[in-house]
Amino acid sequence: MVAFEVPEIDYTRYTNRQLAAIPLAILAIALIIIGGWYAVTGAPVNPGLDFTGGAELRVAVDAPDGQAREQIQQAFDPAPETIRSVPNDNTYILTFQTESVGVSSLEEQARAAGFEVESSYTVSASFGSRTQLLALGGVAFAFLGMSALVFLMFRTFVPSVAVVLSAFSDIVVPVALMNLLGIQLTLGTVAALLMLIGYSVDSDILLNNHILRRSGGFYESTHRAMRTGVTMTLTSLAAMVVMTLVATLFGIQLLAAIGTVLVFGLTTDLVNTYMLNLSLLRWYKYEGVSN
């Protein structure tokens, strides 16, 4: 059987500044994107249906793709905001950001046009804004709770900050990517962001634990932590890439959304853990400790 090995990186060739520069630059760019988004659109991310209110219909249309889209455009008043086709079969997911027309009448319009309504979903605007508040509160609570726990576990400032900072970046970078790729914030993506807090901290804790609490030299500990940590992240990454692809093919939006955000986050985590967190730890180990 072919076993792959996590390659050993010669960290001595790079200074702490060089190492930290890349992840910090990525983080800065992500923050600029989110800030810019906020300045232009009034929200740091594109809130989806769950938060803005609106309606979503999933309809089966018995026609080839181009024709089907045309039929859909004609069938509805108001016209759907977005039309997405599900690769696996001839169904389309339509969203309507409208308050004036109820989902009942949209269902009727769909049936009148000869489409089969496979699912419908509607959220009122006021319910959506309340959900948004809850979701923000949830993410904030999860992040603060995680931070408190990390400080309790390590009881030293720099290593704890390293973990919290890289977890922060693990959330912020996917959010910026979502903006760039036009992925909306939904309940599924919120769940994925929360999941990231849990997942991303794993490899950071592992690294800190190996370097701070074990005997052995810095680089030896680092390499051992990397062997385990990179394997962990790669397995999760493999599972999530596959889940995203399959779920997209089947049109299971919740799973696809969770998968996409986790893929972004886990990839970011590889960079953050082994460049940002590592450089902070090395600085702490060699220069930060006065004794």
Partner 1 sequence: MGTVRDNWRIFVLIFVLLASLFALFSPTMAQEGTDTPGLASSGPTNLEYGLQLSGGTRIRAPLVGVTADSVEFGGDGAPAIEQNVANQLDNVTVADVIVRPQTQTSGTVEVTTDGVTPDELGTALDRAGYSYGSTRDGVTEATRTQAIDILSSKINEAGLSGGTVQQIQTPTGENYILIEVPNEDRQSVVDLVNERGNVRVDVYYPSGGDYQQDTVLEQDDFQSIGNARQGGDGQLPNVPVVVREDVAPQYQQRMVETGIADQGGSRCRYQSSPDETDPCLLLIVDGNVVNAFGMSPDLAASMRSGEWAQDPRFILQTTNFSEAREVAINLRAGALPAALDIGPDGDGTSSYIAPSQGAEFRVDSLLTGIIAVLAVAGVVFLRYGEVEVALPMIVTALSEVVILLGFAAGIGYPLDLSVIAGFIAVIGTGVDDLIIIADEVMAQGDVNSRRVFQSRFRKAFWVIGAAAATTIIAMSPLAVLSLGDLQGFAIFTILGVIVGVLLTRPAYGDILRALLTR
Per CB under 8 A, contacts with partner 1 among 88-117 are: 88, 99-104, 107, 116-117
Q: How far is the CB of 264 from partner 1 (least distance, A)?
A: 15
Q: How far is the CB of 108 from partner 1 (least distance, A)?
A: 8
Cα(180)–Cα(151) distance, integer angstroms = 33
Q: Which window, 10-18, 36-44, 74-82, 142-150, contacts partner 1 (CB under 8 A)? A: 142-150
Q: Which window, 18-26, 40-48, 64-72, 185-193, contacts partner 1 (CB under 8 A)? A: 185-193
Q: How far is the CB of 212 from partner 1 (least distance, A)?
A: 12
Contact pick of 145, 180, 286, 289 for partner 1 (by CB under 8 A):
145
Q: Which window, 29-37, 76-84, 132-140, 279-287, contacts partner 1 (CB under 8 A)? A: 132-140
Contact pick of 27, 175, 201, 280 for partner 1 (by CB under 8 A):
201
Q: How far is the CB of 158 from partner 1 (least distance, A)?
A: 18
160 contacts: CB under 8 Å, gap ≥ 6: 147, 150, 151, 153, 154
